[in-house]
Structure 1
Amino acid sequence: MAVLTRSKFTVLVSIVFISGFTQGMLLPLIAILLEQAGTSATLNGLNAIALYLGIMFVAPFVEKPLQTYGYKKIIVTGLILVTLSLFLFPWYKAFWFWFALRMIVGVGDHMLHFSTQVWVTSKSPEEKRGRNIAIYGIAFGAGFGVGPLMTRFASWNESLPFIISGAFCLLSLFIMTCIKNELPDTGTPTEAGMNVFTRYLEVLKIAWVALLPAFGYGFLESFLNGSFPVFALRQGIAVEWVSILLPSFIMGSLIFQLPLGIWSDRFGRRKVLLICLVIGFMAFASTLLANKHMLIYLVLFFIAGMFIGSLFSLGMMYLSDLLPPYLLPVGNILAGIAFSAGSMSGPLIGGTFIATFDAGAFVYAICGMLAVLFIVTWLHKGDSAPKPLKN
């Protein structure tokens, strides 16, 4: 099996950074522009889920083209869809037109993320797989964190952020021309001949437990960004502190993602995942004792980010260890679906908990989800063997 070269890995990481940058820019930018146009909060929220609808729409259909045309062509197709959408946003400002464009962005983003994830997970050496996936996650997270800064350019010209982001995507397309295409491993002729339904069932049978972190991370991300600000304001936490607490969680995840990846290579994914779930549970549960001491909140959010801000990456590492190479594309599809399901359920469950439990809603929702993930993962005995570290 061909091994992922350093130069090719660098190209894939740069593309993932630009994709994260685009997603991170679109979420707040479009919300702000729709709000300024007088769009209701309900419709604004509906527009935001268009990205995830696009992901879920394309997810079942992307595996076969990947096997036929290879990683590079699927990534390039996804980049073209995203680039064209970005340049079309300023052309016509209307709710349903932007809804459709965000769905197309979701389709394109999933195509390039799906292809790059499978490429990295299947072609990385086993002893460096955790490290590589962690770097991949850091690149996306860093781009996602930088993207919202582009909203400032909208005060000069509403079209400018879209044009800048589109230009970065064009740069990604140029970079992709520098690397050689590869085809994914389809297994033996018998394995390659399995129908789609059979492959999905096989993945769920072997590695269903590794899909739970993707769901959990989607839930966590959407809940923190969508429901936590509402909870915080109702509890008297100042907007200024809300704008600091959420970035502190992201900063913790970016700083600690690589060490977690390396440790999972050394000690096994399941062990590291269980430890992260316990510490994350304790950090969020401790906020009940923080009262209104915002510095304590800040430290606890940072610690939580350090250990559970990498749930998706750890899940992908675990998944790639449990599955044979020919099932990795289907595994990545199901991980994307699990993430999207978690992302859409987070605000719904979060809103219900806030209405029901008031002061403890934020903690009960997140800690309840983390507790379920821990119990299920702990009861499931399948594990990846620790890999010896190599220089």
Structure 2
Amino acid sequence: MHGPPDRGSSPLSIASIVASMTTAAVGSGLMFAYSPYMLARSADAAWAPGAAVTAVAFGGLVGCVVTGPLIQRVGHARLFACSMGIVIIAAAFIASNLSVSLWILGRGLYGAAANCNFIIAQSWLNHAASNAWRGRAMSFFYMAYVLGLGCGSWLFGQIPTSGNLTPLLTIFFTALAILPIGLTRLPNPPAPARVNVDVGMAWQISPVGLIGVLASGGLSMVVQGFVPIYATTNGVAQQQVGLLMFVMQTGLLFVQYPLGILSDRMDRRRVLLITCAIILTAGTAALFASFTHMILFMLIFLVFGGAIETIYSIANAHSNDRADPGDYVPLSSTLLVAWSAAATVVPLAVTALMPVFGPKTFIGAALLVAAAYMLFTLWRLNERDPVPTAERESFELRSAQLPNAAVLTDPEARAADQSTEPTG
């Protein structure tokens, strides 16, 4: 039964949502490190590691498209349990270790189900939270989820890869994640608004925002997906691969937060230019970084990955700054699909080019995307005046690895959220 949003609820009322998704994130972090590590060490198919990255992104695109209609059909709680079940099935495919094709299929199923889970959770959280603390709740939710991913990556480095312990642990954490949501007393949110994709509208609202989200989709999936492959093929030990992924996941908070606060105080496009410059600097350093100096290598990729995540957050906020309240739902829907499409196409291109240009192809691709976006933003800077500070939404921490599920929130609550939260 659907209930009205409890605007008088306390932050403790959403604890079940945060607990479920953080627990699930630990299992996801395990597989984000385990799958590329094992596939890169396998001699069966050289294309498999890159194909697994593309499969996750394509599955995520499918999840973005089907989640809304499925929620309308069965509701948030039932679909959450079903999509967690699909994550378990995907891990079971990998645990069976029968063929590379099953690994790829498993990663694709995971991508679809993980996006579905995240969209459900964020929609539910937006529905339950009061306008007075929704922004803080969303930032805490993102941080908890990212930290869960990082803890999963770290845990991967502490357990043996022989046998199938890692996928079994993923199954365990995913099953455990069903319990808090299954036992919650929060009412189901109403069915989501109809999702409309309108690229023309998104372009008219903010070309810099739309192209930024496109760029961040390709950048994030390429760097986060190919770093463990790159490290493994260069003989980096399992424990160090897990630590590297942990540093990249959790370190982004230290890079994104100060840049986000800065974007509340000056033209966000200028902050995007600063962020692109950081990506180009760190990416160039990454080209020459040596695995023999692992601490320095990790610091470089912490900054590299963190700046890439920041593109998504600031570009998304810049688009919302220029949008009317009635455009929030179709705009968020369009940005979500744009991100997912780029996250599929760019890794696919890197996978195809890697046999020609070598294991550092993903770094070169990231540098090209960042340079192109920097030039585009420079051009747009002279075409349009900045949004006045008083008219902006406040910056929220977001991860480019996670979809923006505002398309499934109550449009009135979204509009209220934009108008009542203080600007920085």
Q: TM-score, normalised by structure 1?
A: 0.72
Distance between the aligned counterparts of 1:93 and 1:321, measured in 2? Answer: 50
- Against the structure 1 CA distance between its residues 10 and 35, is the aligned structure 2 distance closer, same or farther, given a 3 Å change threshold? same
Which residue of structure 1 lines up, in the alignment, with residue 371 of structure 2?
371
Q: 1:51 aligned to 2:51?
A: no
Deviates more, 1:201-210 or 1:285-294: 285-294
Distance between the aligned counterparts of 1:341 and 1:324, measured in 2? Answer: 25
Maintained 8 Å contact 1:54/1:106: yes
Residue 62 of structure 1 aligns to a residue whose secondary structure is: helix
Which residue of structure 2 lines up, in the alignment, with residue 165 of structure 1?
173
Cα displacement (A) at 1:145:
2.0
- Against the structure 1 CA distance between its residues 46 and 10, is the aligned structure 2 distance closer, same or farther, given a 3 Å change threshold? same
Maintained 8 Å contact 2:214/2:342: yes
* Superposed CA offset, 1:29-68 (max 9, x none): 3455667886323245434433322222243333345567
- Against the structure 1 CA distance between its residues 108 and 301, is the aligned structure 2 distance closer, same or farther, given a 3 Å change threshold? closer
| Counterpart pick for 1:183 among 181, 187, 190 | 190
> Following superposition of structure 1 onto structure 2, how do residues 257-272 of structure 1 map, counting pairs within 5 Å?
257-265=256-264, 267=266, 269-272=268-271
Distance between the aligned counterparts of 1:354 and 1:282, measured in 2? Answer: 22
Which residue of structure 1 lines up, in the alignment, with residue 87 of structure 2?
82
Maintained 8 Å contact 1:130/1:261: no
Distance between the aligned counterparts of 1:128 and 1:389, measured in 2? Answer: 11
Q: 1:239 aligned to 2:247?
A: no
Maintained 8 Å contact 1:185/1:326: no
Cα displacement (A) at 1:90:
4.4
Q: Percent identity?
A: 20
Structure 2 unmatched ranges of 5 or more: 395-420
Maintained 8 Å contact 1:211/1:335: yes
* Superposed CA offset, 1:350-381 (max 9, x none): 46776777799666432321122233334164
Q: 1:27 aligned to 2:35?
A: no
Question: Which letter does structure 1 place at the counterpart of 2:178?
Answer: L
Structure 1 unmatched ranges of 5 or more: 187-191
Q: TM-score, normalised by structure 2?
A: 0.68
**RMSD over equivalenced CA pairs, Å:** 4.6
Distance between the aligned counterparts of 1:75 and 1:200, measured in 2? Answer: 29
Structure that is richer in helix per residue: 1
Which residue of structure 2 lines up, in the alignment, with residue 209 of structure 1?
208
- Against the structure 1 CA distance between its residues 31 and 251, is the aligned structure 2 distance closer, same or farther, given a 3 Å change threshold? closer
- Against the structure 1 CA distance between its residues 19 and 261, is the aligned structure 2 distance closer, same or farther, given a 3 Å change threshold? farther
Maintained 8 Å contact 1:127/1:265: no
- Against the structure 1 CA distance between its residues 170 and 364, is the aligned structure 2 distance closer, same or farther, given a 3 Å change threshold? closer
Distance between the aligned counterparts of 1:129 and 1:261, measured in 2? Answer: 18
- Against the structure 1 CA distance between its residues 182 and 268, is the aligned structure 2 distance closer, same or farther, given a 3 Å change threshold? farther
* Superposed CA offset, 1:235-254 (max 9, x none): xx773698466654434303
Which residue of structure 1 lines up, in the alignment, with residue 253 of structure 2?
254
Maintained 8 Å contact 1:55/1:340: yes
How many residue pairs get aligned? The number is 380
Deviates more, 1:369-378 or 1:260-269: 260-269
Maintained 8 Å contact 2:37/2:232: no
- Against the structure 1 CA distance between its residues 324 and 18, is the aligned structure 2 distance closer, same or farther, given a 3 Å change threshold? farther
Distance between the aligned counterparts of 1:16 and 1:323, measured in 2? Answer: 30
Question: Which letter does structure 2 place at the counterpart of 1:41?
Answer: A
* Superposed CA offset, 1:293-332 (max 9, x none): 9465554433334433333333443444444555544444
Distance between the aligned counterparts of 1:210 and 1:27, measured in 2? Answer: 28
> Following superposition of structure 1 onto structure 2, how do residues 308-327 of structure 1 map, counting pairs within 5 Å?
308-324=308-324, 327=327
- Against the structure 1 CA distance between its residues 353 and 127, is the aligned structure 2 distance closer, same or farther, given a 3 Å change threshold? farther
Maintained 8 Å contact 2:196/2:334: no
Question: Which letter does structure 2 place at the counterpart of 1:366?
Answer: A
Maintained 8 Å contact 2:88/2:170: no
Maintained 8 Å contact 1:78/1:110: no
